[in-house]
Amino acid sequence: MDAKPRTSPKSVKFLFGGLAGMGATVFVQPLDLVKNRMQLSGEGAKTREYKTSFHALTSILRAEGLRGIYTGLSAGLLRQATYTTTRLGIYTVLFERLTGADGTPPGFLLKALIGMTAGATGAFVGTPAEVALIRMTADGRLPPDQRRGYKNVFNALIRITREEGVPTLWRGCIPTMARAVVVNAAQLASYSQSKQFLLDSGYFSDNILCHFCASMISGLVTTAASMPVDIAKTRIQNMRMIDGKPEYKNGLDVLVKVVRYEGFFSLWKGFTPYYARLGPHTVLTFIFLEQMNKAYKRLFLSG
């Protein structure tokens, strides 16, 4: 009898990762919009448009309506279809490849390295959708005559290419990849490590409760580690040219200006919606992914 394959087809793993991320995005897109608006509020000054996450959410609802909080959903879905498909697919395949013949999982440092590799690759692939998402979610805070008015993500990508050139689709690629390295090293490795710790404790079995607890721990670690890089990414991708010159030179310039004009802790501006988004998104993504992997193994690898 032929031995069962230890690794399911890579194409299926990539597809599962993207579908899991897209499913999660449908639920957390409003939080992503609030996070982006808060990171852009008070840009260049110490006064902020929004005092709290709740204030931001109510202000957006009042000004733009219920549909307004789902602005950029098409870009969020495309980001997951590109970025998350690539990063979770690569991570899952590498994780299984590097698992010992006796089932021993890779060590923590190797998990982190796998996560960083998967994240950087996924970020490069997903940067155009990321640029569209940032611009679409930021549009509502601008005066009507300054809005870009993209109809959907494909309209945004076509117009950016036509009006600003193809390289603009990868604007902020370096901080996007840097953020992805931090996020994936923290999120994927801390999720795997937390899950392993919970299982080893003897109080948890490999079920949705275990996945939920591991995901919440992972989301908290990831939020604290990645926010400064995320605000740099957000502002670079949303910036305009002023007298032929960009508002920011690079990610480091963003961080320096934020600290100088808005205060050190402004690097963590939008912490609450960021975690409120990242926590549930991490939970939903990994729960969807775990359930799809189990279904795949049951349907195709059993017997």
Residue-wise pLDDT for 84-134, tens only, equals: 888 877 887 888 888 888 888 888 788 878 888 888 999 999 999 999 999
Q: Domain 10-288: state its class.
A: mainly alpha
What was the pLDDT predicted at 161?
Answer: 96
pLDDT value at 3 more than 50 = no
| Tens digit of each residue's pLDDT (9 = 90 or more) over 134-178 | 999 988 888 888 889 899 999 999 999 999 999 999 998 999 999
Print the SS3 string covering 4-48.
CCCCCCHHHHHHHHHHHHHHHHHHHHHHHHHHHHHHHCCCCCCCC
Mean pLDDT of all residues belonging to the chain = 83
Task: Judge contact between 279 and 216, C-beta under 8 A.
Answer: yes
Model confidence at 239, pLDDT cuts 50, 70, 90, reads confident
What was the pLDDT predicted at 7?
Answer: 46
Looking at per-residue pLDDT, the higher value among 243 and 130 belongs to 130
CA–CA separation, 235 and 172 (whole Å): 9
Nearest to 186 by CA among 158, 223, 150: 223
